Every structure is written in C-alpha cells, then in structure tokens.
C-alpha cells in the first residue's frame, strides 16, 4: 500500500519536525507547502509564475494556484513511494480540492496524523523561542546555553525574537487555526480514512514512536 499521509495540528505542535522524521523513517517525500511553493517559483513552472506575481504584491496565494502546485508535486517521481503532506489542506475547501486530485491520481487511501496540544502549552512553546539570523535555526530559549550564542552555528549576537513568536501574534494565529483549519479534522472524521491522534505535549521522541507504532500497524511494515 502506498504511504499517503497528511499531518495536521495547530501552529507549534511540532508538525514539521515530525513530518521530517516520518519521511526519513518511511523513505517517503516530505511535502511542505511552503517549500514546494518556493520551488515552483524558483523553477518558473506555470503555477510558479502565477504565484510569484501574487506574492510580489504581498497577497496570499489563492487556493486554485496552491492546489495546482500540490497536484504537480504529487505527480513527481519523488512521491512514487509515498509522501507526507505538511501544511495542506488548511481549509475545508482545500480538503475538497485535494480529494479531487487524489481521485485523478487514483490514490484515495490516505492516513491523517493529528497532533494535539493545549493552547496554553503552544503559547508557552512558541513565545519561548529565538531565531538565529546567521543560520536560520529556530531555537528554544532553554536550549541556548551561552547568552546570545547560537548552539547550532556558534554565531554570537545573531539571536532575535521573531514577531511571529510574540504572544498576541500567537493567539491570533491560533484563533485563525480554530476558525478556519480545525474544521478540516471534522471533515475527515466523516470520511472513511485512518486518523491517528497523538498527544503532542510529550517529547519529540515519544510522539514519533507513537506515530510510527500506529503507522506500522496500518501499513503492515
């Protein structure tokens, strides 16, 4: 059975980290919508050119273009063994459009990984981070042993707190998630797909072990 996974959850639950770990373990493609959007623009694909014009105006890329980029990516050879889709769908409309793509590809058998974390812990996690402007690493303040020194690249004086990680901004992002994205989970619960719900408050390793155990049972691997 081809491994087709969606990873779902609020900002700050660790979707990107888990998606990368799962992709490496199962030897499937990690499809981050942010990454494939930038790649499409860089490669100047038909959809990428359309997206570039919109992005240069500072506007959000509309669903019809984003879904076109997702469609093109899922048809690539790198997805032949399977994939984990990270950051899409974000709305019920996008979920419906993704269903149409999967029908086109005759690939309706998908599994959704739902990572659950309490809002208070998410706010605590995200507001307790800094970014290294030298190497781009996002770091928990607790992991920074020497003041102002990045533990990854060792640069000094390059650590900043991003606007995205300010408490009021985080609360706004969570409100948008609960209003627009959380209904996607209800949409999939009404469909006959496998849903794995995991407590994301545990360590990265424990969350990953739980997900892999469930996947091994589902895919018989």
Is 213 annotated as catalytic? no
Q: What is the DSSP string of 165-216?
A: GSHHHHHHHHHHIIIIIHHHHHHHHTTT-EEEEEETTS-HHHHHHHHHHHHH
Q: Which of 78, 162, 191, 213 is catalytic?
A: 162
13 to 46, 52, 86, 164, 194: CA distances (angstroms): 33, 29, 12, 15, 20
Is 173 annotated as catalytic? yes
Instruction: Give the C-alpha separation, 184 to 161, whole Å.
Output: 31
- Chain centroid to Cα 63, Å, comes to 17
Q: Which of 2, 38, 71, 90 is catalytic?
A: 90
Q: Which of 71, 149, 173, 194 is catalytic?
A: 173
**Helix and strand numbers, DSSP H then E, in the chain:** 9, 8
Is 38 annotated as catalytic? no
Instruction: Give the C-alpha separation, 123 to 170, whole Å.
Output: 6
Is 162 annotated as catalytic? yes
Q: Which of 3, 15, 125, 130 is catalytic?
A: 15
Q: Which residues are catalytic?
A: 15, 90, 129, 162, 173
């Amino acid at each position: 059975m081809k491994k087709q996974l969606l990873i779902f959850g609020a900002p700050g639950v660790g979707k990107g980290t888990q998606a990368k770990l799962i992709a490496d373990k199962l030897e499937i493609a990690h499809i981050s919508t942010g990454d494939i959007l930038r790649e499409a623009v860089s490669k100047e694909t038909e959809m990428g050119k359309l997206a570039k014009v919109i992005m240069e105006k500072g506007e959000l890329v509309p669903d019809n273009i984003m879904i076109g980029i997702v469609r093109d990516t899922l048809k690539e050879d790198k997805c032949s063994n399977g994939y984990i889709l990270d950051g899409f769908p974000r709305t019920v409309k996008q979920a419906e459009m993704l269903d149409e793509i999967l029908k086109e590809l005759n690939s309706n058998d998908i599994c959704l990984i739902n990572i659950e974390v309490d809002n208070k812990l998410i706010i605590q996690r995200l507001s307790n981070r800094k970014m290294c402007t030298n190497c781009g690493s996002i770091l928990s303040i607790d992991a920074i042993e020497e003041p102002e020194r990045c533990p990854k690249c060792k640069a000094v004086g390059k650590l900043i707190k991003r606007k995205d990680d300010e408490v009021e901004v985080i609360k706004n992002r969570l409100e948008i998630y609960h209003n627009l994205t959380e209904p996607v989970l209800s949409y999939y619960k009404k469909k006959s797909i496998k849903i794995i719900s995991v407590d994301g408050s545990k360590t990265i390793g424990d969350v990953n072990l739980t997900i892999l155990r469930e996947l091994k049972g589902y895919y018989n691997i």
